[in-house]
Amino acid sequence: MSKRILLLFSDTGGGHRAAAEAIRDALLVKHPGEAQIEMVDVFRQYTPFPYKYAPEMYPWMINNTKSSWAVTYQWTNNPRLAAIIEKTVHPSMRSGLRRLFREHPADVVVCVHSLLTRPLMSTLARMEERPPYVVVVTDLVSTHAFWYDTRADRTLVPTQAALEVGLDNELDPAKMRVTGLPVHADFSKRLTDKAAARAELGWDPDLPAILMVGGGEGMGPLYKTARAVNDLKARCQIAVIAGRNAALKENLETSSWNQPTRIYPFVTNMPVLMAAADMLVTKGGPATISEACIAGLPVIIYDAIPGQETGNVDFVVKNDAGIFAPSPEQVASAVSHWLAEGPAGLAKRSANARELGQPDAVWTIADEVWEYAHRPPIRQERRRPSLRLMR
């Protein structure tokens, strides 16, 4: 009998969907014909106003209210206040989340979004019988208290630092495991040697290559940063990925450049691009950093979302896999320095980055999910009118 697996996420940034897809596809590879897997954007499909517009609101808030975001993140980042907020918010979501579980019965529920962790668990906790609940933390280091619910059956974290935050939030260490971040298995399979990647992309085989990205939405001061690197007039080539940001792509394409420069929209061949590059200039997103480490690509971080990505910067810098350069001028200076070091310096940084890579994380997570899918449903004391999850 096939197992029903429910992966719950929301498109607030590309990392949550990508993590869910990576887990889904790993399960389908390992258990062909044995798994029925559904992915649901919970905010979009099962929550009321204003939560249903979270995918649109998130990029705007990150780009326009960064200082307020930092204050809010720090203020809410403790287990007691996180629990109070959840109890305040959950009643408005409850009917939609009940409908979610009625419409998508499952043998295991997997959450990959911090703002959903506690509301989903609270809904499941009101059932007379519920499936096991697994949380896959997709922030890398400085993880928020929202991720951690002591009632969850399993919490899988990407780093030891994230596990320690879980302990601070009173999770049972026996219910946690460090697995790494779920990067799609195809990423590692599609990595190739530098010469082959450059031939495929049509890049110069000899010039040092700088890859510049701003996440799937092209967030942050990517244009100014690219122009600052351009002003170096260095012997190099540049590739800038504008993502879904059409205005950014147009601005980049209509600018003049001092070296071979290629502008890309949202791409699906990131393994090839990373394999072809010598360094990555990026915001501090966990998925991009994890991919760069697997590819052995040293990182210059030009921007980080306060709070949730601050730890990512420390993670990269402390392991000498990259540096933090929070202004276009500082990025240009770092690029100049790394180019001056020559191939030997870049090779050393590349090796440091590769040591942090965890290409097998998605397989480990898939195995954990599969194991919990085979556990029996959990009977609970009926304290309130409950929803039975039919099997």
| pLDDT given at position 389 | 47
Please check the confidence at residue 5 and state whether its pLDDT lies above 50. Answer: yes
Q: What is the domain extent for residue 88?
A: 3-183+360-379
| pLDDT given at position 238 | 98
Q: Are residues 109 and 234 in the same domain?
A: no
Joined together, the tokens standing for residue 179 give 């697995």
Closest C-alpha among 128, 152, 46 to residue 90 = 46
Q: How confident is the model at residue 384 (pLDDT cuts 50, 70, 90)?
A: low
Q: Are residues 53 and 106 in the same domain?
A: yes
Q: How confident is the model at residue 63 (pLDDT cuts 50, 70, 90)?
A: low
Asked whether residue 389 is domain-assigned, the answer is: no
CB atoms within 10 A of CB 318: 8
Percent residues over pLDDT 90 in the chain: 79
| CB contact at 8 A, 151 and 126 | no
Q: Are residues 120 and 87 in the same domain?
A: yes
Q: Are residues 22 and 134 in the same domain?
A: yes
**Partner residues linked to 136 by β-bridges:** 156
Joined together, the tokens standing for residue 223 give 């244009």
| CB contact at 8 A, 46 and 116 | no
DSSP conformational letter for 248: H
Asked whether residue 156 is domain-assigned, the answer is: yes
Number of domains in the chain: 2
CATH of the domain at 95: 3.40.50.2000
Q: How confident is the model at residue 14 (pLDDT cuts 50, 70, 90)?
A: low
Q: Are residues 10 and 143 in the same domain?
A: yes
Please state the pTM of the whole predicted model: 0.89
Asked whether residue 257 is domain-assigned, the answer is: yes
Distance between CA atoms of residues 287 and 88, nearest Å = 31
Asked whether residue 260 is domain-assigned, the answer is: yes
Degrees to nearest 5, angle at CA 29 with 24 and 32: 100
CB atoms within 10 A of CB 49: 7
Q: Are residues 108 and 177 in the same domain?
A: yes
Distance between CA atoms of residues 229 and 363, nearest Å = 38
Asked whether residue 258 is domain-assigned, the answer is: yes
CB atoms within 10 A of CB 70: 15
Closest C-alpha among 124, 121, 172 to residue 146 = 121
Q: Are residues 68 and 164 in the same domain?
A: yes
Q: Are residues 89 and 145 in the same domain?
A: yes
| pLDDT given at position 241 | 95
Q: Are residues 151 and 222 in the same domain?
A: no
Question: Which of the residue ranges 78-82, 214-218, 381-385 would you say has the lowest mean pLDDT?
Answer: 381-385
Q: Are residues 53 and 97 in the same domain?
A: yes
Closest C-alpha among 125, 75, 69, 71 to residue 97 = 125
Distance between CA atoms of residues 110 and 366, nearest Å = 11
